[in-house]
Amino acid sequence: MLDRTLVQGLTKAVAAAALAILKIGGARDIRTKADLTPVTAADERSQALLLEAASKLMPGVDMVAEEMASRPVEPGDPFVLIDPLDGTKEYVVGSGEYTVNLAVVQAGRPVAGFIAVPAAGLLYRGIAGLGAERLHIRADGGLGDPESLRTRAAPRDGLAGTVSRSHLDPATVALLDRLGVKTRLPCGSALKFCRIAEGAADLYPRLATTCEWDVAAGHALVEAAGGAVTSPRGTPLRYGDGAGDFRIPAFIAWGDRSLVPSA
pLDDT of residue 21: 95
> What average pLDDT does this structure show over 175-197?
93
Distance CA 176, CA 37 (A): 27
Whole-prediction pTM value?
0.95
> What average pLDDT does this structure show over 60-79?
94
> What average pLDDT does this structure show over 61-71?
94
Give the orientation angle of helix 4-24 with respect to helix 41-57, to 10 degrees.
160
Please state the separation of Cα 10 from the chain's center in Å: 14
The answer on pLDDT for 263 being more than 70 is: no
In this structure, the strands spanning 62-65 and 79-86 are parallel
For 37, other C-beta atoms within 10 Å of its C-beta total 10
The CATH architecture that domain 4-149 belongs to is 2-Layer Sandwich (3.30)
User: What are the tens digits of pLDDT across the range 78-102?
Assistant: 999 999 999 988 998 889 999 999 9
In the CATH hierarchy, which top-level class contains the domain 159-259?
Answer: alpha beta
pLDDT of residue 117: 98
Distance CA 72, CA 59 (A): 16
pLDDT-based confidence at residue 233 (cuts at 50, 70, 90): very high
Answer for the pair 251, 234: CB distance below 8 angstroms, yes or no.
no
Please state the separation of Cα 217 from the chain's center in Å: 4
Distance CA 98, CA 90 (A): 6
pLDDT-based confidence at residue 170 (cuts at 50, 70, 90): confident
The answer on pLDDT for 69 being more than 90 is: no
pLDDT of residue 60: 96
> What average pLDDT does this structure show over 98-108?
97
User: What are the tens digits of pLDDT across the range 3-38?
Assistant: 999 999 999 999 999 999 999 977 777 877 777 678
DSSP lists the bridge partners of residue 109 as 106
CA neighbor of 133 nearest in space, from 252, 260, 240, 14: 14
Distance CA 125, CA 133 (A): 5
For 163-217, the DSSP string reads EESS---HHHHHHHHHTTEEEEEEE-TTHHHHHHHTTS-SEEEE-S-EEHHHHHH
Which residues, in sequence order, are CB contacts of 219 under 8 Å at separation 6+? Answer: 103, 109, 110, 113, 193, 229, 237, 251, 253
> What average pLDDT does this structure show over 159-163?
94
- Residues above pLDDT 90, as percent of the chain: 82
- Say how many residues make up the chain: 263
pLDDT of residue 12: 97
The answer on pLDDT for 167 being more than 90 is: no
Domain boundary assignment for the chain: 4-149, 159-259
